[in-house]
């Protein structure tokens, strides 16, 4: 157990620290001075009185009018006090700090928020954030795409396609003494560029997919979506027209929950068969799933 003398010293140290912080709660505004006293006005003075007093004192202590070094220091303090009191928000926070000096951290946070927060234009912050996020997004997409391409180029299937393309370009004439690794590097790059490498999950980066570009095009996207929906309602709900192939394919794909790239890779016969089943109708979809379950059990 600590001796009484040690306890007293600890208590004195705590009180000293608290007194320092309590003083700094208002000192962050006008230092050790009182902002109202610097301008020679009462705490309940209105904005006109504060402005009038500031102009009077600033003319008296301005360095161009008064060369005294002490007067110059006082002019800086007066200008600081006026900056605090001329703004309703910072004045209100200063008054609160005077009345509640014990709320050190709250008063300090409010001061710095008012001092630096309002100087940042929210629009500029939003634009900057979109630019940074878009840059990271693009660099990440490029890295993923290059990594995926490098992985594909190491597969036997890619090397076979590359060899077939080389034979096609050379008219079927190739040097049998040269293996796949001995293909001219420049020719290999040219052939690689001709191959259409579509890799799921690592598509070729495009600026149109960036977050910033999509945000800029958001009004256009919304208008386009509303126009499409209005056309859909007018054509199929009001006029009861039969679905076009593209719209029927869309409804089928949505009903089955098939991604666009997976639907694109289906053969045309399979697409046509699924569209003809009219799976966007609930009963047809339930029957289709029932048939699929029966087929799955039969194969087991």
Number of domains in the chain: 3
Q: Are residues 186 and 230 in the same domain?
A: no
Mean pLDDT of 30-52: 89
Residues 106 and 154 in one domain: no
Claim: this prediction has a pTM higher than 0.85: no
Domain of 220? 216-299
pLDDT at position 187 over 80: no
Tell whether 238 and 260 lie within a shared domain. yes
- Based on the fold, state whether residues 236 and 256 are members of the same structural domain: yes
Predicted pLDDT of residue 106: 78
Residues 191/166, Cβ–Cβ less than 8 Å: yes
In a domain, 2, yes or no: no
**pLDDT tens per residue across span 142-152:** 898 888 878 87
Pair (46, 98) in one structural domain: yes
Determine, yes or no, domain membership for 23.
Answer: no
Identify whether the C-beta of residue 100 lies closer than 8 Å to the C-beta of residue 107: yes
d(CA 169, CA 124): 53
> Are 234 and 261 within one domain?
yes
Residue 249, in any domain of the structure? yes
Which pLDDT score, from 0 to 100, does residue 180 have? 46
Closest C-alpha to 80, from 25, 35, 23, 27? 35
What is the reported pLDDT for 131?
92
Calculate mean pLDDT across residues 219-230: 94
Instruction: Count CA atoms within 13 Å of residue 164 on its CB side.
Output: 7
Q: Which two tokens stand for residue 95?
A: 């008054």
Looking at per-residue pLDDT, the higher value among 41 and 10 belongs to 41
Whether pLDDT at 179 is above 60:
no
* 12 domain-assigned: no
User: Is residue 151 assigned to a domain?
Assistant: yes
Q: Are residues 221 and 294 in the same domain?
A: yes
From 146, 142, 182, 177, select the one nearest 162 (Cα to Cα): 182
If asked whether residues 69 and 90 sit together in one domain, one would say: yes
């Amino acid at each position: 157990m600590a001796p009484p003398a040690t306890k007293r010293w600890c208590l004195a140290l705590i009180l000293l620290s608290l007194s320092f912080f309590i003083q700094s709660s208002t000192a962050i505004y006008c230092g050790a001075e009182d902002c109202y006293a610097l301008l020679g006005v009462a705490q309940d003075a209105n904005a006109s009185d504060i402005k009038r007093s500031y102009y009077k004192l600033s003319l008296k202590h301005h360095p161009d009018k008064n060369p005294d070094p002490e007067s110059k220091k006082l002019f800086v303090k007066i200008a600081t006090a006026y900056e605090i009191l001329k703004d309703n928000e910072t004045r209100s926070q200063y008054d609160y700090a005077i009345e509640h000096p014990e709320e050190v951290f709250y008063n300090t946070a409010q001061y710095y928020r008012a001092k630096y927060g309002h100087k940042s234009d929210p629009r500029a912050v939003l634009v900057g954030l979109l630019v940074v996020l878009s840059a990271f997004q693009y660099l990440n997409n490029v890295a993923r795409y290059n990594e995926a391409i490098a992985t594909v180029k190491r597969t036997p299937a890619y090397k076979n396609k590359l060899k077939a393309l080389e034979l096609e370009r050379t008219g079927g004439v190739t040097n049998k003494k040269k293996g796949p690794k001995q293909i001219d590097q420049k020719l290999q790059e040219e052939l690689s560029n001709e191959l259409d490498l579509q890799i799921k999950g690592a598509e070729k980066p495009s600026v149109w997919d960036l977050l910033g570009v999509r945000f800029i095009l958001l009004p256009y996207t919304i208008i386009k979506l509303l126009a499409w929906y209005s056309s859909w309602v007018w054509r199929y709900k009001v006029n009861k027209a039969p679905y076009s192939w593209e719209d029927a394919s869309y409804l089928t794909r949505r009903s089955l929950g098939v991604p666009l790239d997976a639907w694109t890779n289906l053969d045309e016969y399979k697409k046509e068969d699924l569209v003809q089943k009219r799976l966007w109708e609930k009963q047809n979809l339930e029957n289709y799933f029932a048939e699929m379950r029966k087929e799955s059990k039969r194969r087991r």
